[in-house]
Chains A and B, each alone.
Chain A
Amino acid sequence: MDSRYDIAIVGSGPAGLSAAVNARVRNKNIILFGNAEFSEKLIKAPKIKNYLGLPDITGLQLKDKFENHIKSMNINITLERINEIYAMGEYFGLMVNQKMYEAKAIVLATGIEYTKPLRGEEELLGKGVGYCATCDAPLYKGKVVTIIGYNKEAEREANYVNELVKKVYYIPMYRDKPNLDDNIEIVEDKVLEIYGKERVEKVILENKQIDTDGVFVLKDSISPAQLVPGIAMESNHVKVDANMNTNIPGCFAAGDCVGRPYQYMKAVGQGQTAALNAVSYLDKQ
């Protein structure tokens, strides 16, 4: 088991980086989860005109400035994707595949998820629809499972599930050819709906229907409500107060994930507020 960090920051966009910098200034032992490009949205921005002090900067240039800043403070990004965060009371458990990190406080800075849920997905969650194939696959022994994969990572899970169940259908939501075990049936078609009355019965596609007992939807990023079970949401944003507190003590949130406007400076300011309040939360412990 890894040692327990003071603050775990989930997300490497402007809000997360700002939280990391401010927590580090206060000498906290932090871990920052994210990806090497920091933020897809940032590097794609052609021109940014409203970041104070840096007029007409491009997203890539701003990313370089952010990178220099965190490097100068010896902050590294841990390139792992958090699957689920458990509020254990005294600490938080952050699950990465089969590994667990522990932190006393959390700053969520996950951005906003644009992938809309599929029709039927939310209604049938827990009634055959799941997001963690490795967790629930053994419940489908001798049954038919359909995997809707949004990324290459989902292929590994599909191969694992294939060892446990009777039959696996794989629906890729991306262009690359999936690399899967031979007896997995690849279905290249557009998903219209996950259908079922009491529980999942079939997946309805544009050109065919698949009878299935379970559906796993494996996305790039999941909504905060699934990431942190028990967290209070307001429509599709994390509910926070002016101190960036969520409803869970010790769990803070900042940036696009807490609401509009979706802007760099707002994200950075909220990241700072969240980090400073996480620091005072720790000092009171």
Chain B
Amino acid sequence: MVEEIKDANFSNSIKDSDTPVVVDFWASWCGPCKMLSPVIEEVSDELQGKAKFFKLNVDENPVTAAQFKIASIPTVMVFKDGSMVDKFVGFRPKDTIKDVLGKHI
């Protein structure tokens, strides 16, 4: 499952996790984001318990988007112990996403 995350609870959700945290930065006007979100949803189901999955709407949460200098969406970031350890920009197929996350799980 992919949970919605906001500016207000972002840093706490990233920090307070025993597992890696994956954040999908998206917006409603972005076509590739729409394609990526069901794929991320599938990955989150397959990796249940091994990683936490969030999505953040960059339009509604400009503070976090600016903090991480999001210049292109979709951007997916992986956090461990509160800091960013990996990211990719743009759509990816499921297997590629699992390969990226596999390095951190």
Contact = CB atoms under 8 A, between A and B. Distances in A.
Interface of A: 84, 86-89, 93, 95, 98, 125-128, 130, 132, 135-136, 138-139, 198-200, 214, 229-230, 248
Interface of B: 27, 29-32, 35-36, 38-39, 42, 58-59, 65, 69-73, 75, 89-96
A229 B39 contact: no
A93 B93 CA distance: 11
A135 B31 contact: yes
A230 B73 contact: no
A87 B93 contact: yes
Nearest 7 CB-CB pairs, A to B? Answer: A126-B89, A87-B93, A230-B96, A230-B93, A86-B35, A229-B91, A230-B92
A195 B94 CA distance: 33
Contacts, number: 67
Contacts of B72: 126, 130, 135-136, 139
B76 to A, nearest CB: 11
Given A125-B89, A248-B95, 10 more contacts: A84-B32, A87-B93, A88-B93, A93-B35, A95-B32, A135-B31, A138-B59, A139-B65, A199-B69, A230-B93
Contacts of A199: 69, 71
